Amino acid sequence: MCFTVDYILFIQADVDVHENPNEVQATKYVSEDQLKTMFKDDSLLFTPWFKLICQSMLFEWWEHLGDGLDKYKGETAIRRMLELPQALPDAD
């Protein structure tokens, strides 16, 4: 059995992205709705773990960026994501 540990960092700032070409094929700044639309495009490929994170946590966190993420600070739980959701929420 294989396990992967992934970290998510939220920051609201102007940053320069210097991705590792061995790890990242491409980067793009998108809105929440744009990302949801991108998930519906079968020509685009996403890792299963990224879709799991989006479905289970990312879109919720995204909704709270403007009013703060304080309730998520200091979280110590390890989230075990074992199956991919069948569908992502529709873009409104």
At residue 9, the pLDDT reads 66
Helix residue spans in the chain (DSSP H): 32-39, 48-53, 59-63
pTM summary value: 0.65
User: Which of 29 and 3 is assigned the larger pLDDT?
Assistant: 29
- Phi, psi at residue 66, to the nearest 5°? -70, -35
pLDDT in tens, 17-33: 888 888 888 888 888 89
DSSP string, 63-79: HTTTT--GGGTT--PPP
Q: Dig out the tokens for 35 from the structure.
A: 């990302």
**So where are the chain's domains?**
32-72
Q: Are 3 and 49 in contact (CB under 8 A)?
A: no
Residue 59 has pLDDT above 80, yes or no: yes
Exposure letters 1-28 (e unless 16+ CB within 10 A, then b): eeeeeeeeeeeeeeeeeeeeeeeeeeee
